[in-house]
Amino acid sequence: MTFWRNLVFLFLAFFILPGIIPALEKNDIAPGASPGRSVLSLRAQPGQRNLMVLSRTNGPVILDGLSNEPAWQNIESLSFVQIEPLAGAEPSERTEVLLAYDEDYLYMAGRLYDREPENIYSNSKQRDSGNPSCEWFGIVIDSFNDKENALAFFTTPAGLRWDAAVFGDAQGEEPINISWNSFWDVATARNGEGWFAEFRIPFSSLRFQNKDGRVVVGIIVWRQIARKNEWDIFPAIPPDWGFWSKFKPSQAQEFLLEGVVNQRPVYMTPYALGGLGRTAELNDAKTGYRQRENIERQAGLDLKYRPSSNLTLDLTLNPDFAQVEADDEQVNLTRFSLFFPEKRLFFQERSSIFDFEFETTDRNRLFYSRRIGIQETRLVGILGGARVVGRVGPWDLGFLDMQTSSSENLSSENMAVLRLRRQLFNPNSYIGGMMTSRIGTGGGYNYAYGLDGVIRVFGDNYLTMKMAQTFTSGKENNPLSFASSRYYLNWLRRSYKGLGYGLSFSGCGADYEPGMGFQLRENYTRWVANLWYGWYPGAKSPVFSHILQLPTYLFIRNGDHVVETLSIGPIWQFSTKTGYAWAINPSFSYENVPRTFFLSDRAEVPAGEYRFLGLKLEFSTPSRRPLAATMNLDAGSFYDGRRFSIGLDQKWSVLSDLELTGYYEFDHVTFPSRGQAFDAHIARLRALYMLSTEFSASAFIQYNSASQALIGNIRFRYNPREGIDLYLVYNEALNTSRSRQLPALPLSAGRAVMIKYSYTFSL
């Protein structure tokens, strides 16, 4: 009966409710508000701003940053207002931005005047460095004009290139993918009047829908003046959605382009890799370790082709990710698995289309690309694969198929995912579906399908519905049973201004197993309620914003219907106009632990019921300064013991060529009644030296006392232009406690030196 009840509910949600949504739609605020009005008057509903016509260039553009050639004559500048710290006010410095295009490129010129040019910050030169202490200028382009996704292109006075893909209408903790890269150029210049930039973005790097030679795109342009903690923006957008307000595609200004030609270049990128590795292994008598050397010789090929202006096909043969930076070491103080983000470039191209996420706080999702080519912490070879992303008519399409190689006890597997979704009713509503398959040559399989929908009911109120089901070899796999199913229902007001609220209901059965996804818990029901109120004190207050929240989390085990986890506690977050920020979170937790879990070989948490109180504090200094820091504190009772955790994250832009980042975390857990204690130290140090925007050297050293390892990663990168990369990489792992096992461990657990070169041809 549970399955059929859920099925009836989904039918009502997907087909009956949408019929009444249009009657609920309304326009909140008129567009075109002038600077100086209240924050609310700046807001525009998606598609509400008047359509503007983009000008064509008046001749060739010489990319030198200065925009003084005839090509820019008679092109009007965009009108800017502040978004922070005084939303709607006039910018403190003069900004002129010109947009134009020709048959092949979209151009943008920025004349970023400054009355104190000696105080212009430019503390980074590395590709994709997001150093917040720099001056920034760039553009966010919703090329499909779907009010949901966008591509961002930014630079600093040093002329570095930073690009990213924006997804989910810039909602969530980090709704951008900075690993996405594309082909484009930028040039900058500085003089006694300020700094200047010219962008040249090929239409072949943008995906768009061409209707009778006409293309409509959404555009946001903004500038950051670091020393003033000021952002100036076009069009006028309020800060109601927090920091990511300035990236929101739904608030972009629509521009019309005419005569844009569909370009379909073919990019072919072969690579060659060579290296030498050394690992330690036990000898046959198991009395000591011997070193085994491995010579690495590898080659592969990537191919990118756009069969149409809105579709991209990627093919890869024998891909390798030797240049990818190591994962951050973490200490796990829970009984659940750790989540690590995807860093491999091949999986980044419009990766948001493959999003099928349930509870965002737990990272649960139907598809998790790190399941491909990674088995626990061990790398698995990928023979090749194909990927198609883009749009077909009204449908967003994503298809991925990869074949892994066999190794040791793992059989070769084929892993595939198909994603479809389309908008309906309004620009921020959609329905969609996903299917995944994982088939091994040994006979094992896992299939999954899911249906999802997001409906913008009115204003910032959204209803989200998702359900999924899996079929796994060796299980009953009854399609009419709830045991292999997953569901999620959420109502949320997506705004930090005024009264906000969120309520979600979700859970899964005992046999639900997403073979290509990520799932923390099994066989549970979850309720989450959150109530908050946010406000902006105004121009006379030194405080920029306040947010008060009261989140509550409740997990119920389906097997015995008892409460497994309960957490409740208020959160107060506030920030100043100068960039300081605080967060205070006292909380009460209840845990019913079904089975003993281990924090280390010296400390465990036995099965049982626990009630404990905690306090979390977070403080950060202005990130726009050359030296910035964030401190976290988590203390209180912890199960039947006590916990004290502190973390310090620092970034220091020593010079424009050198950047240091350090992180230290200390966790102290004691269980006096059981005579157990657990201390853990995590230390991370990154050093980045940037000789120019083309050459950089970085060192990343980590220490984890839990694994008793010191891990080093040193990379040299030469990137003269997009598509050409030369990497020299050195990795080493050292055992810091060799006597913890017998026979004693070797000092070096493994080392490798690799060189990788890739070159992109345009056909």
Q: What is the DSSP string of 379-392?
A: E--EEEEEEEEEEE
pLDDT at 180: 82
Residue-range domains of the chain with CATH = 1-21+330-522 (no CATH), 31-258 (2.60.40.1190)
Residues of the chain with pLDDT > 90, as a percent, come to 54
Q: What is the mean pLDDT of residues 408-415?
A: 86
**Token pair recorded at residue 177:** 């993918």
Residue among 569, 562, 549 nearest 636 (CA): 569
Biggest alpha carbon distance in the chain?
82
pLDDT at 31: 25
Rg (C-alpha) for the chain, rounded Å, is 27
Give 3-state DSSP helix, strand, coil % of the chain, rounded to 5.
10, 55, 40
Say if CB 543 and CB 575 are below 8 A apart. Answer: yes
How far apart CA 396 and CA 450 sit, in angstroms, is 16
Residue 190 has pLDDT above 90, yes or no: yes
Residue 338 has pLDDT above 90, yes or no: no
Q: What is the pLDDT of residues 527-536, one digit of tens each?
A: 999 999 999 8
Q: What is the 3-state secondary structure (H, E, C) of 21-51?
A: HHHHCCCCCCCCCCCCCCHHHHCCCCCCCCC
pLDDT at 48: 55
**Residue 13 — very low, low, confident or very high, per pLDDT cuts 50/70/90?**
very low
Of 400 and 333, the one with more pLDDT: 400
Rounded to whole angstroms, what are the CA distances from 491 to 348, 488, 556? 29, 10, 20
Q: What is the pLDDT of residues 468-526, one digit of tens each?
A: 999 999 888 888 888 999 999 999 998 888 999 999 999 999 999 999 999 989 999 99
**Residue 349 — very low, low, confident or very high, per pLDDT cuts 50/70/90?**
low
3: left (phi over 0), alpha (psi -120 to 50) or beta: alpha
CA 455 distance to own-chain centroid: 23
Burial of 207 (0-12, 13-18, 19+ CB in 10 A): buried
Characterize the bridge pairing of strands 214-225 and 230-234. antiparallel
User: Residue 439: beta bridge partners?
Assistant: 414, 445
**Residue 30 — very low, low, confident or very high, per pLDDT cuts 50/70/90?**
very low
Q: What is the pLDDT of residues 553-568, one digit of tens each?
A: 999 999 899 999 999 9
Of 722 and 57, the one with more pLDDT: 57
**Token pair recorded at residue 470:** 């899996």
Q: pTM for the full model?
A: 0.79
pLDDT at 487: 95
Phi/psi at 117 (5° precision): -60, -25
Q: What is the mean pLDDT of residues 397-414?
A: 88
pLDDT at 287: 81
How far apart CA 78 and CA 54 sit, in angstroms, is 11
